């Protein structure tokens, strides 16, 4: 069993199935990426894993604990952090206040202070901007803040939803470099990302989701060489 195991999950919006027969696993210490076009069910899957949407059938376990009936804050307490699509920071709160919002798992102030120091080491710009309002940050800085806020809960598994969306190429390079550092420091990562080339370049394994179903699963380097992935997600013209 992996750290996270999902088996035969279906997720519905009303009577409409958005995700069907979903099975995937994430082992401790991995970066696993979930690829797919808009509307494939990637964000729905992450929302289900973090307790924001319950599956209609199937099983989801995290380190042996069944997640399917747990509320979102209990899932956070178990050690799953979620950085949602669009960042969702609090724009009228300062950077420091945004980070404090992610620290409710800490029972001791000392623990939160240690984690904050680690986040400022990863994201020095957040320390420089700690008294600024979140809404005054650039897009890249807001993404760093959203990741930092999730890391304040000391997650064992971090769910990242489209961290490169809307960012300049140089900022994307920085964000992906930081993602690998987060993994190297011991946090397992499930990454949803439309920039397939960047995601597969740092991932150990990947899954391809199309219209709510997993259609490919393999190690990242094999997926990078797969003709279907190259044409659909890397923009290559295989015929040429």
Tokens of 57: 């059938």
Helix (H, G, I), strand (E, B) or coil at 157: strand
Q: Give the integer Cα–Cα distance in Å for 35 and 177.
A: 19
End-to-end Cα distance, the chain: 42
Looking at the chain, the whole-number percentage of residues with pLDDT higher than 70 is 95
Q: Which among 221, 191, 222 is positioned nearest to 209, based on CA atoms?
A: 191
State yes or no: pLDDT of 90 exceeds 70: yes
State yes or no: pLDDT of 44 exceeds 80: yes
Alpha helices (runs of H) in the chain, residue ranges in sequence order: 42-49, 72-78, 95-101, 109-122, 124-128, 139-151, 169-184, 196-202, 220-225, 227-232
Q: Residue 240's pLDDT is what?
A: 47
3-state secondary structure 14-57: CCEEEEEEEEEEECCCCEEEEECCCCCCHHHHHHHHCCCCCCCE
Q: Residue 102's pLDDT is what?
A: 86
> Which pTM value belongs to this model?
0.92
Mean pLDDT in residue range 129-136: 95
| CB contact set of 179 (below 8 Å; sequence gap of 6+) | 31, 160, 163, 189, 191, 202
CB atoms within 10 A of CB 109: 9
Backbone angles phi, psi at 204, to 5 degrees: -85, -45
CATH of 4-232, one of 2.120.10.60, 2.60.40.10, 3.40.50.2300, 3.40.50.300: 3.40.50.300
Q: What is the mean pLDDT of the chain?
A: 92
Helix (H, G, I), strand (E, B) or coil at 240: coil
Q: Which among 40, 2, 38 is positioned nearest to 22, based on CA atoms?
A: 40
* Residue-wise pLDDT tens digits, 164-218: 998 999 999 999 999 999 999 999 999 999 899 999 999 999 999 999 999 999 9
Q: Give the integer Cα–Cα distance in Å for 101 and 216.
A: 37
Helix (H, G, I), strand (E, B) or coil at 226: coil
Mean pLDDT in residue range 137-155: 94
DSSP character at residue 62: E
CA distances from 207 to 22, 56, 160, 177, 190 (A): 10, 21, 15, 21, 10
Looking at the chain, the whole-number percentage of residues with pLDDT higher than 90 is 81
């Amino acid at each position: 069993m992996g750290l996270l195991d999902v088996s035969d999950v279906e997720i519905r919006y009303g009577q409409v199935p958005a995700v069907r027969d979903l099975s995937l696993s994430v082992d401790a210490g991995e970066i696993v990426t979930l690829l797919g076009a808009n509307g494939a069910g990637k964000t729905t899957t992450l929302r289900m894993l973090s307790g924001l949407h319950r599956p209609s059938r199937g099983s989801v376990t995290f380190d042996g604990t069944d997640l399917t009936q747990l509320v979102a804050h209990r899932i956070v307490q178990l050690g799953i952090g979620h950085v949602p699509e669009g960042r969702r920071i609090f724009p009228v709160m300062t950077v420091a206040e945004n980070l404090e919002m992610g620290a409710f798992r800490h029972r001791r102030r000392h623990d939160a202070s240690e984690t904050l120091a680690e986040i400022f080491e990863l994201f020095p710009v957040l320390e420089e901007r700690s008294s600024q309002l979140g809404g005054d940050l650039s897009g890249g800085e807001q993404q760093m803040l959203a990741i930092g806020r999730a890391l304040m809960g000391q997650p064992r598994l971090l769910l990242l939803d489209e961290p490169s969306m809307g960012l300049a190429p140089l900022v994307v390079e920085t964000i992906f470099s930081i993602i690998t550092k987060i993994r190297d420091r011991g946090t397992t990562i499930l990454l949803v990302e439309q920039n397939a080339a960047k995601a597969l370049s740092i991932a150990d394994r990947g899954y391809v989701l199309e219209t709510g179903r997993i259609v490919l699963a393999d190690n990242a380097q094999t997926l990078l060489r797969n003709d279907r992935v190259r044409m659909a997600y890397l923009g290559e013209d295989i015929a040429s």
